[in-house]
A = this chain, B = another copy of it.
Amino acid sequence: MKATIKDVASLAGVSVKTVSRVINNEPNVRPAMQDKVNSAVAELNFKRNPLARGLRGQNSFIITLLYSNPNPSYVLELQNGAIEQANAEGFNLQILPCDHTNKNLVRNIESIIAHSSQDGFLLTHPLCDNEEIIALLEKNNIPFVRISPFHHKHSSPYVLSDDHLAAYEMTKHLISLGHTDIAIIKGHPDYGATHKRYEGFSRAMKEMNLEVDDSLVKEGLFTFESGETCARQLLTQEHKPTAIFASNDYMAAAVLKVAAQMHVKIPANLSVVGYDDAPVSKQIWPSLTTVKQPIYDLAKHAVQKLIRHIKKQDFDDIESKFQCKLVLRNSTSPKM
Protein backbone atom coordinates (compact mmCIF):
# COMPACT_ATOMS: atom_id res chain seq x y z
CA MET A 1 0.00 0.00 0.00
CA LYS A 2 0.85 3.62 -0.19
CA ALA A 3 3.33 4.88 2.35
CA THR A 4 2.00 7.45 4.81
CA ILE A 5 3.75 10.10 6.78
CA LYS A 6 3.78 7.74 9.74
CA ASP A 7 5.71 5.14 7.81
CA VAL A 8 8.26 7.73 6.88
CA ALA A 9 8.47 8.93 10.47
CA SER A 10 9.08 5.51 11.91
CA LEU A 11 11.59 4.56 9.24
CA ALA A 12 13.48 7.79 9.81
CA GLY A 13 13.13 7.50 13.56
CA VAL A 14 11.58 10.92 14.00
CA SER A 15 8.13 12.30 14.72
CA VAL A 16 5.52 12.86 12.07
CA LYS A 17 5.74 16.56 12.68
CA THR A 18 9.39 16.57 11.75
CA VAL A 19 8.60 14.76 8.54
CA SER A 20 5.89 17.30 7.87
CA ARG A 21 8.37 20.10 8.45
CA VAL A 22 10.85 18.64 6.03
CA ILE A 23 8.45 17.90 3.21
CA ASN A 24 6.98 21.39 3.54
CA ASN A 25 10.34 23.11 3.68
CA GLU A 26 9.58 24.62 7.03
CA PRO A 27 12.47 26.12 8.98
CA ASN A 28 13.96 24.87 12.23
CA VAL A 29 15.01 21.39 11.24
CA ARG A 30 18.62 20.34 11.60
CA PRO A 31 20.29 19.23 8.37
CA ALA A 32 21.01 15.79 9.79
CA MET A 33 17.31 15.26 10.43
CA GLN A 34 16.44 16.51 7.01
CA ASP A 35 18.74 13.95 5.46
CA LYS A 36 17.23 11.13 7.46
CA VAL A 37 13.75 12.15 6.47
CA ASN A 38 14.64 12.67 2.85
CA SER A 39 16.17 9.27 2.47
CA ALA A 40 13.18 7.63 4.14
CA VAL A 41 10.91 9.53 1.76
CA ALA A 42 12.94 8.32 -1.17
CA GLU A 43 13.11 4.75 0.07
CA LEU A 44 9.37 4.47 0.58
CA ASN A 45 8.59 6.50 -2.52
CA PHE A 46 6.40 8.64 -0.34
CA LYS A 47 4.12 11.38 -1.65
CA ARG A 48 1.68 13.39 0.41
CA ASN A 49 -1.95 12.50 0.11
CA PRO A 50 -3.44 15.67 -1.39
CA LEU A 51 -6.87 14.94 0.02
CA ALA A 52 -5.65 14.79 3.60
CA ARG A 53 -3.46 17.81 3.11
CA GLY A 54 -6.34 19.79 1.72
CA LEU A 55 -8.70 18.68 4.44
CA ARG A 56 -6.57 19.65 7.39
CA GLY A 57 -4.55 22.53 6.02
CA GLN A 58 -5.52 26.05 5.09
CA ASN A 59 -5.01 25.37 1.42
CA SER A 60 -6.47 22.77 -0.87
CA PHE A 61 -3.75 23.25 -3.47
CA ILE A 62 -6.42 23.35 -6.11
CA ILE A 63 -6.69 26.27 -8.50
CA THR A 64 -9.44 26.62 -11.00
CA LEU A 65 -9.26 27.78 -14.60
CA LEU A 66 -12.56 29.36 -15.51
CA TYR A 67 -13.27 30.00 -19.17
CA SER A 68 -16.01 30.60 -21.66
CA ASN A 69 -14.44 30.66 -25.05
CA PRO A 70 -15.42 29.19 -28.38
CA ASN A 71 -11.87 28.90 -29.67
CA PRO A 72 -10.64 25.34 -29.02
CA SER A 73 -6.99 25.84 -29.82
CA TYR A 74 -6.82 28.90 -27.58
CA VAL A 75 -8.43 27.11 -24.68
CA LEU A 76 -6.26 24.05 -25.01
CA GLU A 77 -3.05 26.01 -25.09
CA LEU A 78 -4.21 27.90 -22.03
CA GLN A 79 -4.97 24.64 -20.26
CA ASN A 80 -1.63 23.14 -21.15
CA GLY A 81 0.36 26.10 -19.90
CA ALA A 82 -1.65 26.32 -16.70
CA ILE A 83 -1.41 22.59 -15.97
CA GLU A 84 2.31 22.58 -16.59
CA GLN A 85 3.00 25.40 -14.17
CA ALA A 86 0.49 24.31 -11.55
CA ASN A 87 1.93 20.81 -11.39
CA ALA A 88 5.44 22.18 -11.25
CA GLU A 89 4.45 24.07 -8.11
CA GLY A 90 2.59 21.19 -6.51
CA PHE A 91 -0.91 22.41 -7.29
CA ASN A 92 -3.74 20.75 -9.12
CA LEU A 93 -5.55 22.55 -11.86
CA GLN A 94 -9.27 22.16 -12.10
CA ILE A 95 -10.79 23.20 -15.37
CA LEU A 96 -14.19 24.78 -15.34
CA PRO A 97 -15.78 25.53 -18.70
CA CYS A 98 -18.86 27.69 -18.50
CA ASP A 99 -21.12 29.76 -20.65
CA HIS A 100 -20.88 33.48 -20.12
CA THR A 101 -24.29 34.02 -21.68
CA ASN A 102 -25.93 31.80 -19.08
CA LYS A 103 -28.15 33.82 -16.79
CA ASN A 104 -27.30 31.64 -13.81
CA LEU A 105 -23.58 31.98 -14.39
CA VAL A 106 -22.81 33.99 -11.29
CA ARG A 107 -25.06 31.89 -9.12
CA ASN A 108 -23.40 28.73 -10.42
CA ILE A 109 -19.96 30.03 -9.71
CA GLU A 110 -21.10 31.16 -6.28
CA SER A 111 -22.29 27.68 -5.52
CA ILE A 112 -19.01 26.21 -6.70
CA ILE A 113 -16.84 28.44 -4.59
CA ALA A 114 -19.13 27.98 -1.62
CA HIS A 115 -18.84 24.24 -1.63
CA SER A 116 -15.58 23.13 -3.03
CA SER A 117 -12.34 24.44 -1.75
CA GLN A 118 -10.26 26.15 -4.36
CA ASP A 119 -7.31 28.25 -3.36
CA GLY A 120 -7.66 30.57 -6.31
CA PHE A 121 -9.03 31.31 -9.72
CA LEU A 122 -7.71 32.02 -13.16
CA LEU A 123 -10.19 34.14 -15.08
CA THR A 124 -10.15 34.51 -18.82
CA HIS A 125 -11.99 36.96 -20.98
CA PRO A 126 -14.91 37.71 -21.02
CA LEU A 127 -15.33 36.43 -17.47
CA CYS A 128 -12.41 38.43 -16.17
CA ASP A 129 -14.28 41.61 -17.00
CA ASN A 130 -17.47 40.50 -15.30
CA GLU A 131 -17.95 42.80 -12.32
CA GLU A 132 -20.22 40.39 -10.52
CA ILE A 133 -17.74 37.56 -10.66
CA ILE A 134 -14.93 39.79 -9.48
CA ALA A 135 -17.05 41.15 -6.64
CA LEU A 136 -17.93 37.60 -5.65
CA LEU A 137 -14.33 36.49 -5.48
CA GLU A 138 -13.29 39.59 -3.60
CA LYS A 139 -16.11 39.19 -1.11
CA ASN A 140 -15.00 35.63 -0.46
CA ASN A 141 -11.37 36.64 -0.25
CA ILE A 142 -10.36 34.23 -2.98
CA PRO A 143 -7.23 35.20 -4.87
CA PHE A 144 -7.55 35.43 -8.63
CA VAL A 145 -5.50 36.40 -11.63
CA ARG A 146 -7.05 37.73 -14.81
CA ILE A 147 -5.84 36.66 -18.23
CA SER A 148 -6.11 39.27 -20.97
CA PRO A 149 -8.64 41.54 -19.28
CA PHE A 150 -10.04 44.56 -21.00
CA HIS A 151 -10.52 46.74 -17.95
CA HIS A 152 -7.50 47.46 -15.84
CA LYS A 153 -9.23 49.37 -13.15
CA HIS A 154 -9.14 46.58 -10.60
CA SER A 155 -6.12 46.29 -8.39
CA SER A 156 -5.98 42.53 -8.87
CA PRO A 157 -3.08 41.11 -10.84
CA TYR A 158 -3.39 40.23 -14.50
CA VAL A 159 -1.41 39.03 -17.47
CA LEU A 160 -1.88 40.06 -21.07
CA SER A 161 -0.27 40.08 -24.44
CA ASP A 162 0.53 43.32 -26.17
CA ASP A 163 -2.27 43.32 -28.70
CA HIS A 164 -1.91 46.99 -29.35
CA LEU A 165 1.72 46.69 -30.33
CA ALA A 166 1.21 43.56 -32.42
CA ALA A 167 -1.62 45.15 -34.38
CA TYR A 168 0.54 48.24 -34.81
CA GLU A 169 3.41 46.18 -36.16
CA MET A 170 1.21 44.13 -38.44
CA THR A 171 -0.27 47.30 -39.89
CA LYS A 172 3.21 48.75 -40.37
CA HIS A 173 4.11 45.56 -42.17
CA LEU A 174 1.22 46.01 -44.60
CA ILE A 175 2.20 49.62 -45.12
CA SER A 176 5.79 48.60 -45.75
CA LEU A 177 4.50 46.37 -48.53
CA GLY A 178 3.15 49.47 -50.21
CA HIS A 179 -0.46 49.24 -49.15
CA THR A 180 -2.31 52.44 -48.36
CA ASP A 181 -5.94 51.44 -48.74
CA ILE A 182 -6.01 49.12 -45.79
CA ALA A 183 -9.32 47.95 -44.38
CA ILE A 184 -9.89 46.52 -40.94
CA ILE A 185 -12.56 44.05 -39.87
CA LYS A 186 -13.01 44.65 -36.18
CA GLY A 187 -13.92 41.96 -33.66
CA HIS A 188 -16.84 41.67 -31.30
CA PRO A 189 -17.41 45.04 -29.58
CA ASP A 190 -17.64 43.43 -26.14
CA TYR A 191 -14.11 42.09 -26.34
CA GLY A 192 -11.18 44.14 -25.13
CA ALA A 193 -8.95 42.66 -27.80
CA THR A 194 -11.16 44.22 -30.43
CA HIS A 195 -10.40 47.73 -29.28
CA LYS A 196 -6.71 47.20 -28.62
CA ARG A 197 -6.18 45.71 -32.05
CA TYR A 198 -8.07 48.56 -33.64
CA GLU A 199 -6.08 51.15 -31.72
CA GLY A 200 -2.82 49.58 -32.81
CA PHE A 201 -4.03 49.65 -36.38
CA SER A 202 -5.13 53.27 -36.12
CA ARG A 203 -1.92 54.42 -34.56
CA ALA A 204 0.16 52.88 -37.33
CA MET A 205 -2.02 54.45 -39.99
CA LYS A 206 -1.88 57.84 -38.32
CA GLU A 207 1.86 57.70 -37.86
CA MET A 208 2.27 57.06 -41.56
CA ASN A 209 -0.18 59.83 -42.38
CA LEU A 210 -2.64 57.43 -43.95
CA GLU A 211 -6.27 58.28 -43.69
CA VAL A 212 -8.62 55.58 -42.46
CA ASP A 213 -11.72 55.91 -44.56
CA ASP A 214 -14.85 55.03 -42.58
CA SER A 215 -15.96 52.70 -45.35
CA LEU A 216 -12.83 50.62 -44.75
CA VAL A 217 -13.69 49.96 -41.11
CA LYS A 218 -16.16 47.12 -40.64
CA GLU A 219 -17.63 45.72 -37.47
CA GLY A 220 -17.26 41.95 -37.24
CA LEU A 221 -18.03 39.58 -34.40
CA PHE A 222 -14.97 37.29 -34.53
CA THR A 223 -17.06 34.65 -36.31
CA PHE A 224 -16.49 33.28 -39.79
CA GLU A 225 -19.97 34.39 -40.84
CA SER A 226 -19.47 37.97 -39.66
CA GLY A 227 -16.17 38.06 -41.49
CA GLU A 228 -17.90 36.91 -44.63
CA THR A 229 -20.45 39.71 -44.45
CA CYS A 230 -17.80 42.35 -43.89
CA ALA A 231 -15.58 40.98 -46.64
CA ARG A 232 -18.43 41.00 -49.09
CA GLN A 233 -19.10 44.64 -48.32
CA LEU A 234 -15.45 45.56 -48.64
CA LEU A 235 -14.98 43.82 -51.97
CA THR A 236 -18.14 45.15 -53.57
CA GLN A 237 -18.19 48.74 -52.37
CA GLU A 238 -16.78 51.59 -54.35
CA HIS A 239 -13.70 52.16 -52.23
CA LYS A 240 -11.98 48.78 -52.34
CA PRO A 241 -8.98 48.04 -50.14
CA THR A 242 -5.78 46.39 -51.38
CA ALA A 243 -5.20 44.88 -47.97
CA ILE A 244 -7.51 43.69 -45.21
CA PHE A 245 -6.59 43.34 -41.57
CA ALA A 246 -9.03 40.86 -40.04
CA SER A 247 -9.08 40.91 -36.25
CA ASN A 248 -8.88 37.14 -36.06
CA ASP A 249 -8.11 34.20 -38.29
CA TYR A 250 -11.68 32.97 -38.62
CA MET A 251 -12.66 36.27 -40.21
CA ALA A 252 -9.51 36.27 -42.32
CA ALA A 253 -10.45 32.83 -43.60
CA ALA A 254 -13.85 34.24 -44.51
CA VAL A 255 -12.13 36.96 -46.52
CA LEU A 256 -10.35 34.25 -48.50
CA LYS A 257 -13.67 32.58 -49.20
CA VAL A 258 -15.31 35.75 -50.49
CA ALA A 259 -12.22 36.63 -52.51
CA ALA A 260 -12.24 33.18 -54.12
CA GLN A 261 -15.89 33.50 -54.99
CA MET A 262 -15.27 36.92 -56.53
CA HIS A 263 -12.13 35.79 -58.33
CA VAL A 264 -9.96 38.22 -56.41
CA LYS A 265 -6.48 36.72 -56.27
CA ILE A 266 -4.75 36.54 -52.91
CA PRO A 267 -2.14 37.78 -52.33
CA ALA A 268 -1.66 39.17 -55.84
CA ASN A 269 -4.66 41.49 -55.82
CA LEU A 270 -5.45 41.57 -52.14
CA SER A 271 -3.34 41.03 -49.06
CA VAL A 272 -5.06 39.56 -46.02
CA VAL A 273 -3.83 39.19 -42.48
CA GLY A 274 -5.43 37.55 -39.50
CA TYR A 275 -4.76 37.31 -35.81
CA ASP A 276 -4.28 34.36 -33.37
CA ASP A 277 -2.37 31.83 -35.42
CA ALA A 278 -5.36 29.51 -35.21
CA PRO A 279 -5.02 26.08 -36.82
CA VAL A 280 -7.00 27.27 -39.83
CA SER A 281 -4.28 29.75 -40.70
CA LYS A 282 -2.09 26.83 -41.78
CA GLN A 283 -4.86 24.66 -43.18
CA ILE A 284 -5.99 27.11 -45.79
CA TRP A 285 -4.49 28.26 -49.04
CA PRO A 286 -2.96 30.75 -49.18
CA SER A 287 -1.88 30.26 -45.61
CA LEU A 288 -2.48 33.29 -43.43
CA THR A 289 -0.04 35.90 -42.28
CA THR A 290 -1.09 36.36 -38.69
CA VAL A 291 -0.13 37.18 -35.11
CA LYS A 292 0.79 34.53 -32.60
CA GLN A 293 -0.05 35.30 -29.00
CA PRO A 294 2.13 33.69 -26.31
CA ILE A 295 -0.87 31.96 -24.78
CA TYR A 296 1.07 29.14 -23.20
CA ASP A 297 3.43 31.55 -21.47
CA LEU A 298 0.55 33.78 -20.47
CA ALA A 299 -1.11 30.85 -18.73
CA LYS A 300 2.09 29.72 -17.03
CA HIS A 301 2.79 33.16 -15.75
CA ALA A 302 -0.77 33.66 -14.58
CA VAL A 303 -0.48 30.50 -12.49
CA GLN A 304 2.82 31.69 -11.08
CA LYS A 305 1.28 34.99 -10.07
CA LEU A 306 -1.73 33.28 -8.58
CA ILE A 307 0.29 30.89 -6.46
CA ARG A 308 2.43 33.72 -5.21
CA HIS A 309 -0.76 35.46 -4.26
CA ILE A 310 -2.08 32.39 -2.50
CA LYS A 311 1.13 31.95 -0.57
CA LYS A 312 1.04 35.63 0.26
CA GLN A 313 4.53 36.02 -1.07
CA ASP A 314 5.99 39.31 -2.24
CA PHE A 315 4.33 40.55 -5.27
CA ASP A 316 5.76 41.22 -8.59
CA ASP A 317 3.93 43.80 -10.65
CA ILE A 318 0.17 43.86 -10.96
CA GLU A 319 0.57 43.70 -14.71
CA SER A 320 2.65 41.26 -16.73
CA LYS A 321 2.75 41.96 -20.43
CA PHE A 322 4.00 39.51 -23.04
CA GLN A 323 4.94 40.14 -26.62
CA CYS A 324 3.24 38.61 -29.64
CA LYS A 325 5.01 37.42 -32.77
CA LEU A 326 4.21 38.23 -36.37
CA VAL A 327 3.93 35.07 -38.44
CA LEU A 328 4.48 35.81 -42.10
CA ARG A 329 2.89 33.32 -44.46
CA ASN A 330 1.40 33.48 -47.92
CA SER A 331 -1.59 35.77 -47.76
CA THR A 332 0.38 38.99 -48.08
CA SER A 333 2.51 40.46 -50.85
CA PRO A 334 3.72 43.87 -52.00
CA LYS A 335 1.09 46.04 -53.58
CA MET A 336 1.17 45.64 -57.33
Contact = CB atoms under 8 A, between A and B. Distances in A.
A97 B80 contact: yes
Contact of A83 (B97, B115, B256, B257): B97
Contacts of A256: 285
B285 A283 contact: no
B72 A76 contact: yes
A257 B52 CA distance: 56
A117 interface: yes
A328 interface: no
Given A72-B73, A79-B97, A282 B224 contact: yes
Contacts of A51: 51, 54-55, 60, 117
Q: Report copies per complex.
A: 2
Interface in A108-134: 114-117
A283 B97 contact: no
A2 B2 CA distance: 31
A250 interface: yes
Contacts of A257: 284-285
Contacts of A116: 50
Nearest to A261: B285
Contact of A49 (B55, B83, B253, B279): B55
A185 interface: no
A311 interface: no
A272 interface: no
Interface residues of A, number: 39
Nearest to A74: B72
Interface in A44-63: 45, 47, 49-52, 54-55, 60
B49 A52 contact: no
A80 to B, nearest CB: 6
A94 interface: yes
Contacts of A194: none
A214 to B, nearest CB: 28
A73 B45 CA distance: 38
A117 B52 CA distance: 11
A92 interface: yes
A72, A95, A116, A261: which has the most chain B beta carbons within 10 Å?
A: A72
Contacts of A92: 94
Nearest to A251: B283
Interface string A245-287: 0000010011011001100000000000000000110111100
A105 interface: no
A190 to B, nearest CB: 22
A173 to B, nearest CB: 23
Interface string A195-229: 00000000000000000000000000000100000
Interface of A: 2, 45, 47, 49-52, 54-55, 60, 72-73, 75-76, 79-80, 83, 92, 94-95, 97, 114-117, 224, 250, 253-254, 256-257, 260-261, 279-280, 282-285
10 contacts: A2-B114, A51-B60, A72-B73, A79-B97, A83-B97, A95-B95, A256-B285, A279-B280, A280-B280, A283-B284
